Amino acid sequence: MSAEHNKENHTQEQELWERISTTEGAERAEVLDELSHIAFNRDSYKECLHLVDTSIDIYYKLGMDAHVKELIHAYEGKAFSLRKLDRVAEAADTFEDIAKLHQINEDPEGYIRAKRAAGCDWYEAKQWQKCLDNHIAARDAIDLDATPMSMGIDLLNIGMAQAKLALHQEAIDTLLSARKLFKEAKNPEYVNWVDQYATVSYAALGNGPEAMFHAKHYFNYSKVAKDISMEGYALYYLGKSHLLCNEYDDAETMLKKALGLLTLEEKKDWEDILDATRQLAKALTALGREEEAAERLERIATIEETFGGGEEAA
């Protein structure tokens, strides 16, 4: 951004602040809204929040019914600022408020969009039931512009939440329905996402062959896409699948390769690294190499303690 452009923005902001003292009611709220845009664009998200909250208060005092569209706009600014501040649970709550306003405004498309956004933020906040409720609401709303892709995304989101709630059979049914829609839409990237999460649920149910089927598809996609990070996770799931099928040599090979890639990540996923190590220890124990398995578990003992305990390899 040029110095001249910055100067123009600064001048505009000064003029808006001067207008604040001479305005009231809806006009004052509009000025606050313009100021919030400037604050957001310069990454001043806390200031943006303060401005939109003040604007929202004014609109409510003036009467919500007469200012629904303005409130939707202000709440969206609030939600995006909360996201930027990593306050995702508050952002999710705000998107739920936006969805209610879209209902009042008789805007089904806006309602669906807001419910999806709320569901995604509840997922980030690890509030799985709230995530599931919002994505189900988005799916069940009447969407005249629905496509195989949009319907598949709703089902994928629902399946991911169901898996987090350990509703694995329900998750599998939902995910396989999503997979059909993504294939219809000819979108291999999203078919791959389904394969990843289907593998997790099949493995949780102890269904090795089905977990293997989807893990292989996930692995193949990672190789074609040349995504090293994805390949690490795919190898991890393949290793778990081989272990469930009592194919211990293959499980050892895959899990060792997986750990080699997962530990290269700058932002390490310790939960999966620890579990991959435990699964490897199980494979080594099954192969009669108990001492090597014990060494592997001993290496991760301190990290497990840091995360609040571990589980036995046997």
Structure-block tokens of residue 23 = 């305005």
Domain ranges of the chain: 146-205, 221-314
Q: What is the 3-state secondary structure (H, E, C) of the chain?
A: CCHHHHHHHHHHHHHHHHHHCCCCHHHHHHHHHHHHHHHHHCCCHHHHHHHHHHHHHHHHHHCHHHHHHHHHHHHHHHHHHHHHCCCHHHHHHHHHHHHHHHHHCCCHHHHHHHHHHHHHHHHHCCCHHHHHHHHHHHHHCCCCCCCHHHHHHHHHHHHHHHHHCCCHHHHHHHHHHHHHHHHHCCCHHHHHHHHHHHHHHHHHCCCHHHHHHHHHHHHHHHHHHCCHHHHHHHHHHHHHHHHHCCCHHHHHHHHHHHHHHHCCCCCCCHHHHHHHHHHHHHHHHHCCCHHHHHHHHHHHHHHHHHCCCCCCCC
Burial 290-314 (b: 16+ CB within 10 A, else e): eeebeebbeebeeebeeeeebeebe
Q: Which pLDDT score is estimated for 307?
A: 81
CA-CA distance, 259 to 44, in Å (whole number)?
40
What residue has token string 């102890």?
Answer: 206
CATH code of the region 221-314: 1.25.40.10
Q: What are the mean pLDDT values of the chain's consecutive 10-residue runs (314 residues total)?
A: 57 79 87 91 95 95 92 97 98 98 95 98 98 97 91 97 98 98 97 97 97 97 95 97 98 97 92 96 97 95 78 42
pLDDT of residue 5: 53
Q: Provide the 8-state DSSP code for 129.
A: H
Predicted local confidence at residue 54, as pLDDT = 95
The pLDDT, as a whole number, for residue 2 is 54
With a CB cutoff of 8 Å and minimum separation 6, the contacts of 247 are none
**pLDDT for residue 312:** 44
